[in-house]
């Protein structure tokens, strides 16, 4: 529809989508890149806890209806059903979901009508406003009916299943509520008195809960766990624990080779009920850090990320620290990245040029050049605040040098209980 041409992206900065990539690609195929980017950016930030998938789905539905003038495609319906399932399993009620839809409707309608108001011809402007307002309402109304109908079915299914009771017990344990440990252990069929290691796992939407559980079992078996506890968190997330671990988390990465959509965070082993809770908290912290990480790692261990967890509790302060200490080295460019990597390796290995050359597969003269150039770009001698410099390089390597940004919506497994 012509009105859609009035809705270019209002912000050239990249905003990560909250819905599935497959859905966004389908909308792009039907409506174009601008329409999808507009939908993602217009709906971003509506939910205070960053769970923007449902508002984004509203915006994508509107973009599709404006462009195609027809009912919602099967992919939108399927995505809505998946989101409802996740909302139900998180304990949200229907009012919460419909409230998000209403908030999204208000913002989207305002954005559409504001774009129409820029049409110079009065008759065309009136026709555009009338036509788009009707189409926006139809899209939101259809999506609201899908959500309402599916919510009732999913709620009934969830309340009737044993998973709900198991999840309630686990939530009480990780929240530190007063519980009868023996009774909880019987309900979970899991010994809470032993040593535990906790995993937090998530996958791209639609990957399948059963496949995620199979992967979790393989990972815990590799860690040598004699018994496991698997708790689905939404359709695409999982909390897991294993008893008496004796393996190394570094051995887990090869097991994910066949599951490119899956990521896992691993806590440190802990004893008893306190260890059950602490290992899970560590896995959650590692998961959240992994989502912010500048690397492409799919296994995030608290052991490796603990320093980052401690240093970056105040994300904005950490970003300011990196910017201040690195100076020009903090630029988000390939050349600055190469200088940072070389300098960090140099400091990691006690300023051994030979070791840096060997590890980075570059000539010694290249190492010397980059170190000298890094000092020039930073604008200060390397010996000036060396500890702070090394720390800033670590943070830049772990989280990147861009300013903190809104993260895409992920499986509820990665959100606090």
Domain locations in the chain as residue ranges: 2-160, 172-295, 315-399
Q: CB–CB of 35/12 below 8 Å?
A: no
- Look at the block and give the residue holding tokens 């966004």: 24
Out of 3.30.70.2730, 3.30.460.10, 3.40.50.11900, 3.40.50.2300, select the CATH number for domain 172-295: 3.30.70.2730
Packing angle, helices 53-68 and 122-160, rounded to 10: 140
Burial class (CB in 10 A: 0-12, 13-18, 19+), 134: exposed
Q: Is 233 exposed, middle or buried (0-12, 13-18, 19+ CB in 10 A)?
A: buried
Handedness of CA 301, 303, 308, 309 (dihedral sign): positive
Confidence at residue 206, expressed as pLDDT on a 0 to 100 scale: 54
Q: What is the pLDDT along the chain (417 residues), one digit of tens a residue?
A: 444 454 555 554 445 678 888 899 999 998 888 888 888 888 887 775 556 788 999 999 999 998 888 888 899 999 999 888 888 777 677 888 888 899 999 999 998 888 888 888 888 888 888 888 889 999 999 999 999 989 888 877 776 677 778 888 999 999 999 999 999 999 999 999 999 999 999 987 655 667 788 889 999 999 999 899 999 887 678 999 999 888 788 788 888 877 777 899 999 999 999 999 999 999 999 998 888 776 778 899 999 888 888 887 787 888 899 999 999 999 989 999 999 999 999 999 999 999 999 999 999 999 999 999 999 999 988 888 899 999 999 999 888 876 544 344 455 567 655
With H, G, I as helix, E, B as strand and everything else as coil, classify residue 335: helix
Tokens read off for 216? 């979790």
Q: How far apart are CA 350 and CA 321, in angstroms?
A: 23
Do the bridges between strand 270-271 and strand 237-243 make them parallel or antiparallel, or are there none, so unpaired? Answer: unpaired
pLDDT at 333: 92
Residue 144 CA to residue 101 CA, distance in Å, equals: 7
CA angle 398, 400, 405 (to 5 degrees): 115
Q: How far apart are CA 413 and CA 294, in angstroms?
A: 21
Structural domain 315-399, CATH architecture: Orthogonal Bundle (1.10)
Q: Do 172-295 and 315-399 fold alike per CATH?
A: no
**What pTM did the predictor assign?**
0.59
Side-chain-side CA neighbours of residue 340 (13 Å)? 26
Dihedral sign, Cα of residue 18, residue 19, residue 22, residue 28: negative
DSSP state of 73: P
- Rounded (10°) angle between helices 272-292 and 302-311: 70
Tokens of 183: 């009774």
């Amino acid at each position: 529809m012509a009105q859609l041409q009035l809705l270019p992206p209002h912000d050239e900065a990249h905003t990560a989508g909250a819905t599935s990539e497959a859905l966004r690609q389908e909308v792009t195929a039907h409506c174009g890149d601008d329409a999808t980017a507009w939908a993602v950016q217009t709906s971003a930030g509506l939910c205070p806890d960053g769970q923007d998938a449902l508002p984004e789905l509203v915006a994508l539905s509107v973009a599709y209806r404006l462009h195609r003038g027809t009912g919602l495609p099967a992919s939108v319906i399927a995505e809505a059903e998946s989101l409802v399932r996740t909302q139900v399993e998180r304990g949200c009620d229907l009012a919460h979901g419909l409230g998000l839809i209403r908030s999204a409707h208000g913002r989207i309608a305002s954005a559409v009508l504001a774009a129409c108001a820029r049409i110079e011809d009065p008759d065309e402007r009136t026709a555009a406003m009338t036509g788009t307002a009707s189409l926006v309402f139809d899209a939101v109304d259809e999506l609201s009916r899908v959500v309402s109908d599916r919510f009732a079915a999913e709620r009934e299914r969830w309340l009737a299943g044993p998973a709900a009771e198991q999840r309630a017990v686990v939530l009480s344990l990780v929240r530190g509520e007063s519980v009868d440990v023996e009774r909880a252990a019987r309900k979970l069929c899991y010994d809470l008195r032993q040593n535990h290691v906790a995993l937090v796992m998530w996958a791209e939407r639609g990957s399948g809960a059963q496949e995620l559980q199979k992967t979790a079992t393989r990972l815990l078996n590799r860690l040598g766990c004699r018994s496991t506890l698997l708790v689905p968190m939404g359709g695409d997330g999982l909390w897991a624990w294993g008893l008496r671990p004796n393996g190394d988390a570094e051995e887990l990465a090869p097991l994910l080779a066949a599951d490119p959509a899956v990521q896992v965070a691993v806590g440190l082993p802990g004893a008893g009920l306190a260890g059950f809770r602490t290992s899970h908290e560590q896995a959650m912290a590692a998961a959240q850090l992994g989502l912010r990480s500048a690397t492409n790692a799919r296994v995030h261990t608290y052991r490796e990320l603990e320093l980052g967890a401690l240093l970056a509790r105040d994300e904005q302060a950490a970003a300011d620290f990196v910017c201040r200490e690195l100076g020009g080295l903090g630029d988000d460019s390939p050349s600055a990245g190469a200088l940072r990597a070389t300098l960090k390796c140099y400091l990691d290995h006690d300023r051994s040029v030979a070791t840096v050359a060997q590890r980075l597969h570059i000539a010694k003269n290249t190492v010397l050049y980059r170190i000298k150039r890094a000092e020039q770009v930073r604008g200060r001698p390397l010996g000036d605040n060396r500890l702070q410099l090394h720390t800033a390089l670590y943070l830049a390597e772990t989280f990147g040098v861009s300013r903190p940004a809104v993260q895409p919506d992920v499986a509820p497994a990665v959100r606090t209980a």
